[in-house]
Amino acid sequence: MEKLLKGKLPRHIAIIMDGNGRWAKKRFLPRIAGHKAGVSAVRNVVENCRRLGIEILTLYAFSSENWNRPSREVNALMDLLGDFLKSELKEMLKNNIRLTTIGEIERLPGSALKCLQSVCEETADNDGMILNLALSYGSRNEIIKAVRRIVSDYSEGKLTPSDINEERFSRYLFTANFPDPDLLIRTAGELRISNFLLWQLSYTELYVTNTLWPDFRKDDLIKALEDYQKRERKFGRTSEQIERENWKGKMCNPKDG
């Protein structure tokens, strides 16, 4: 961690936690064993992000497409979610972590939903870090819902076509209260986004590791952050423009130089 530049850490990290099934298969274990092992990785990453001062950590925990998996696996995942929330509530309160969610959480079974809502309420005043779980989440569906809300507001006279821009559209998404992710980490080596934050990832730095999620630990997180800090985030500008802006910033704040 000492190698990292504190001033260049991402404000918002998103992670596609992939590889639980393959981790279990390599060990001739049932898939649920991989999901259980993945919970330890979640704890480790949350703890280390909190230590680093990361403001927001969004984890792709359960996609809208995951409902198509065998019911036995889905039920086991919902049980794991409830167990995780119950076991981690004390740590979230201790470490000033607020739990939030994005997605169609109303689709969750009653016990899991009740537990989720309870932990969200109990941690609502925490302001040290936000742990944001994407549950029953699909980005295309999120965008469609946003369009429907916009059409509804238009029909009620709340806005006009000229009011719609990128900033206004973003307010209709599940992530309306969050900045876009600065860094997306995907484990298990797959080179796809998997219907995750399609709008929000427009200028996000992507990092893919072959490490399976249950094996992902602090060293893997540090590698991703070291790689991130080597990137030049241009947002459509040229390197020369960024250099001039940095030079002007140093001239205005000589103590920072």
pLDDT score at 242: 53
Average pLDDT, the chain: 93
Mean pLDDT lowest among 187-191, 222-226, 237-241 = 237-241
pLDDT score at 239: 56
pLDDT, tens only, 87-142:
999 999 999 999 999 999 999 999 999 999 999 999 999 999 999 999 999 999 99
Query: Looking at the whole model, is its pTM more than 0.85?
Result: yes
- In percent, how much of the chain has pLDDT > 70? 90
Burial of 99 (0-12, 13-18, 19+ CB in 10 A): buried
Look at residue 234 and tell me whether its pLDDT is greater than 90: no
Integer-rounded Cα Rg, in Å, for the chain is 20
CA angle 236-240-242, nearest 5°? Answer: 60
Closest CA to 115 of 91, 81, 149: 81
Q: Which two tokens stand for residue 235?
A: 């947002």
Kindly list the catalytic residues.
18, 66
pLDDT score at 257: 45
In the predicted model, what is the mean pLDDT of residues 197-219?
Answer: 98
- In percent, how much of the chain has pLDDT > 90? 87
Q: How many CB atoms lie within 10 A of CB 220?
A: 20
Distance from C-alpha of 62 to C-alpha of 57, rounded to nearest angstrom: 15
pLDDT score at 232: 86
Mean pLDDT lowest among 49-58, 169-178, 206-215, 247-256 = 247-256
Q: Which residues contact 225 (CB under 8 A, 6 or more apart)?
A: 4, 9, 10, 52, 183
pLDDT score at 3: 81
DSSP letters, the chain, are -TTS-GGGS-SEEEEE---HHHHHHHTT--HHHHHHHHHHHHHHHHHHHHHHT-SEEEEEEEEGGGGGS-HHHHHHHHHHHHHHHHHHHHHHHHTTEEEEEES-GGGS-HHHHHHHHHHHHHTTT--SEEEEEEEEE-HHHHHHHHHHHHHHHHHTTS--GGG--HHHHHTTSTTTTSPPPSEEEE-TT-----SSSTTTTTTPEEEE--S-GGG--HHHHHHHHHHHHT----TT--HHHHHHHHHHHHHH-GGG-
CB 137 within 8 A of CB 63: yes
pLDDT score at 69: 95
Look at residue 250 and tell me whether its pLDDT is greater than 90: no
In the predicted model, what is the mean pLDDT of residues 36-63?
Answer: 97
Q: Tell me which CATH code domain 6-256 carries.
A: 3.40.1180.10
